[in-house]
Amino acid sequence: MIALQPGALRRYTPWLTLALWYVAMGSSTRLALWWGYGQAAQVGAGSLLWIMPAGLVADAVQSLYMLAPLALFLWLCPDRWQRSGIMRGILLGGTALWMFGLLFSAATEYYFFEEFDSRFNLVAVDYLIYPTEVAGDLWAAYPVGRVIVIGALLACAMTWLLRAPLTSGTRVVARFAARTPPLLLLAAAVALAIAAFSTNSLGWSANRVANELAANGPSSFFRALRTSEIDYHALYATRDPAANHTLLVAQLARGGGSWANQEAGRLDRSFPARAARLGKLNVILISSESFGAEFSRLYGSDRDWTPEFDRYAQQSLWFRHTYASGTRTVRGLEAITLSMPPIPTESVVRRPGNENIATLGAVLRRHGYHTSFLYGGYGYFDDMNSFYSNNGYEVRDRSDLRGTPRFANIWGVADEDLYDMTLAHADELAASGQPFFIHVMNTSNHKPFTFRTGLESLGIKPTGGGRESGVRYADYAQGYFLREAAKHPWFGRTIFIIVADHGARVYGRQEIPLRTYEIPLLFYSPGNLAPRRVDSLMTQIDIAPTLMGLLGLPYTAPWFGQDALNTAEQGRVAFFNHNHDVAMLRDGALTILGLQKSVLNKHYDAHTDSYGNDAPVDAAMNDLTIAYYQTAYELFKAHKFDLPPP
């Protein structure tokens, strides 16, 4: 039996003091998050009766991990060192620094929740890879200096108030043998936590935001860090690959084409040339940062922040019911470029082994196109330059800009400057007589939302205008680009596509809050495309096959998307990613695949944005969802998502 001596227990008083402080801080943060954002997500005050105790447990478990080094130090430190004045100074100074770090993290988490309705997740992990951009963005968009000062003052004040319990262990004698049993108990508690508790163990609610509130922030971050590149088969529901292949052949055949290379375990479809076709028109595709449908009057918004898009949409092939695949730029680029479901957990744009695969550019190059990717920021961010250059695109970013930009911030140059660079590049390519495909990714609709002067009459403030100014400027710049393009000789032989990379932010109580995934989309080409409204389901992965259908050029590719203009509306599917979850929507049925091989069925009504959480198990829907995601993962990992030989 382990005997615990009072003197030995007092040796660990600093550990207990900091553990209690951490749990109290976690509870305070949780209440602040609930007050600021939980109520808007329908997390009522009654839910706090389980959220707060669950959070208490989550914080207590995390304190075991965070304070384990301190426990080891207190165990190993000899008595004569422990009882010195120097040790008291080290304990107090170390405590102040530790508290400051956690207070700063809590403030950061509050602002992160404002943007993503979530504890730290994969987005936070990805952002840490690019500290220059993120630090610059945070400094410009948030009161970082104020948070640092307040956090430092609070940390010093709390350390001073707790100085007695923090240093009480430096005034007792606790021999090594006596101070070992308490450490063994702590070690047993850590082992039990590792074996029996995970970050989402207490996420019992059907309300996603409630589960996020109950969780611990640092624990959520380390879980995301640990699972950013994971083995799909180990953690997600799977089926027999041959059965998956059979299901997908039947599903994808609805969009026409003939099958090729099935004996090699591939999923290639071949499409012949279409008689009624536009031919080798130039294509300029704009991925518009955070340009959600929630800002467009045409999509039912009362904000009317996108008058340029709305005006051009009515002169275009306009898709009224379009969804993004994810909540990050790399997910939008992946879907548009590869026509692939968003396999968990990392985008293909950032995965190893993504060279020479079946991009839209690769298909067009086989028809003699020059393909380019132009980005308003530095393209090393999110590996965009690497991905596109390794897939045959000519890449240009802000470092290639000629002259001084109208304005710039940490994320990139003004959209107007990016579009001027695009126009000049198109002029160069048109002069060569070669058809071209230019994929443009803008950046201005992003915090810190800084813009040039002279646009105030359009509701665009140089600073302090927030999201409204960001959306209005992105919309203004897109209109500017189309008006300027009309002055160039290649304009009449060009299709312009404008689509958001994702919505402005993810919010809502559901695991996959679908309303926030709705985005605008248009195909504009006066004289080539008659204005038309398309109300059937359209997604980012459908853009490439729909474009190829309009051009009427023959091709073979392993794409998962469908030509939205030549595929029956009934049974059309859409794919979504949010953090570690992925989902598929078909005819109002929603299947969500999560970690630990979880499968969840719901009904979704897009008109009312309402979910039926009591949906019965839909085995056929589940099988098809698994088939899509598992097969996409397996084809990519097996290097079978390249283009087959001509």
What does the pLDDT look like over 314-351, one tens digit per residue?
A: 999 999 999 999 988 999 999 999 999 999 888 899 88
pLDDT at 357 over 90: yes
Highest mean pLDDT (candidates 80-94, 263-277, 611-625): 263-277
Highest mean pLDDT (candidates 51-55, 111-115, 609-613, 621-625): 621-625
**H or E element at residue 134:** helix 131-141
List, in sequence order, the alpha helices (H) in 34-67. 48-66
What does the pLDDT look like over 387-424, one tens digit per residue?
A: 999 999 999 999 898 889 999 988 789 999 999 999 99
Q: Check: CB of residue 409 under 8 Å from CB of residue 448.
A: yes
Q: Read off the pLDDT band of 182 (50, 70, 90).
A: confident
pLDDT at 87: 82
Q: Is the pTM of this model over 0.85?
A: no
Amino acid, single-letter form, for residue 7: G
Q: Read off the pLDDT band of 470 (50, 70, 90).
A: very high
pLDDT at 1 over 50: no
Per-chain mean pLDDT for the chain: 89
Cα–Cα distances (Å) from 289 to 174, 347, 442, in that order, read: 61, 17, 6
Q: Read off the pLDDT band of 234 (50, 70, 90).
A: confident
CATH, domain range 241-552+559-630: 3.40.720.10
Q: Please list, in sequence order, all residues whose beta carbon lies within 8 angstroms of the beta carbon of residue 102, skipping any fewer than 6 positions away.
A: 22, 25
* Lowest-pLDDT range of 200-214, 444-458, 509-523: 200-214
Using DSSP bridges, classify how beta strands 370-375 and 436-441 pair: parallel, antiparallel or unpaired: parallel
CA nearest neighbour of 503 among 314, 299, 211, 209: 299
CA nearest neighbour of 578 among 493, 483, 503: 503
pLDDT at 475: 98
Highest mean pLDDT (candidates 85-94, 106-115, 583-592): 583-592
**Sequence spans of domains, the chain:** 6-226, 241-552+559-630
Listed in order, strand segments (DSSP E) in 434-492 are 436-441
Q: How far apart are CA 513 and CA 507, in angstroms?
A: 7
Listed in order, strand segments (DSSP E) in 335-410 are 370-375, 394-396
374, β-bridge pairs: 396, 440
Cα–Cα distances (Å) from 122 to 118, 127, 314, 396, 579, in that order, read: 10, 9, 38, 27, 6
Cα–Cα distances (Å) from 594 to 55, 129, 200, 578, in that order, read: 22, 25, 12, 10
